[in-house]
Amino acid sequence: MVVAIDGPAGCGKSTVAKILAERLHLTFLNSGSFYRGITLALLRAGIDLKDEQKVLDFARGLNLDYVNSHLFLEGEDVEDLLHTDQVDAYAAQVSAIVPLRHIVNEKIREVTKSLSIVCEGRDMTTVVFPNAEHKFYLDASIDVQAQRRFNQGVSDLSLEEIKESIRKRDEIDKNKAEGALKIAPDALYIDTSHLTIEEVCEIMTRKIQN
């Protein structure tokens, strides 16, 4: 079984996907981790992100793995290094490179081959798992998105700067040549701006179990 969830940054999809996976005994897959992990590796290697050919050659040679919902780069668990301001700032740009998306999609399908999963990202319901049994699109207003990131306490940016960075990121994510963030016609749309995590999970669980 595949439960696929898409939505912009800060709509709460990671949090609810984790909870649902636990309640329904499914494996949680955060597809953004793959783009973030590749971005981290590129930054560490000092590769010019505008040089697409170099980025692709580098990404093709990377040993990426996903074990127990943690991303591994060359055998190193980098899960705790994926949400810095620097990775945040560049992951959208890296994920806009079309052939790189193909590398990631192939990897995601490979690591989830024989699993029942709850996955979340930007193109889970549209490109990666178009035949998912359950599809959701979570949304939130830009103010709520920024406030949630601010409240996480992991950013050195001001609330206004966070808002600007999310706006830029969502703009790139919605206008990608492939894998752009959009609402699948058969997805349930949920605006989470004024809902608690528990309320969102409740709506989704009811839909899945119906």
Interface with ligand DC includes 2 (CB under 6 A)?
Answer: no
Across-strand partners of 120? 5, 30
CB 157 within 8 A of CB 165: yes
- Annotated binding-site residues for ATP read 7-15
Q: What is the spatial distance between Cα 190 and Cα 165, in angstroms, rounded to a whole number? A: 23
Instruction: Using CA atoms of 194, 195, 196, 198 in order, give the dihedral in degrees to the nearest 10.
Output: 180
Burial tier of 22 (Cβ tally within 10 Å: 0-12, 13-18, 19+): exposed
Q: What are phi and psi of 57, to 5 degrees?
A: -60, -45
Q: Which of residues 173-192 bind ligand DC (CB under 6 A)?
A: 173, 179
Q: What is the spatial distance between Cα 196 and Cα 109, in angstroms, rounded to a whole number? A: 31
Of 53-61, 116-124, 132-140, 197-205, the segment contacting ligand DC by CB under 6 A is 116-124
CB 167 within 8 A of CB 155: no
- Please select the residue that binds ligand DC; options are 95, 155, 165, 192, rule is CB under 6 A: 95
- Please select the residue that binds ligand DC; options are 11, 71, 92, 146, rule is CB under 6 A: 92
**Residues in binding contact with ligand DC, number by CB under 6 A:** 15
Interface with ligand DC includes 36 (CB under 6 A)?
Answer: yes
Interface with ligand DC includes 145 (CB under 6 A)?
Answer: no
- Please select the residue that binds ligand DC; options are 2, 118, 121, 208, rule is CB under 6 A: 121
**Residue with Cβ nearer ligand DC (26 or 148):** 148
**Residue with Cβ nearer ligand DC (31 or 112):** 31
Interface with ligand DC includes 163 (CB under 6 A)?
Answer: no
Q: Min. distance of Cβ 112 from ligand DC in angstroms?
A: 13
DSSP per-residue codes, 144-188: HHHHHHHHHT---S-HHHHHHHHHHHHHHHHT-SSS-----TTSE
Interface with ligand DC includes 66 (CB under 6 A)?
Answer: no
Interface with ligand DC includes 9 (CB under 6 A)?
Answer: yes
**Residue with Cβ nearer ligand DC (26 or 38):** 38
Q: Which residues bind ligand DC (CB under 6 A)?
A: 9, 31-32, 35-36, 91-92, 95, 121-124, 169, 173, 179
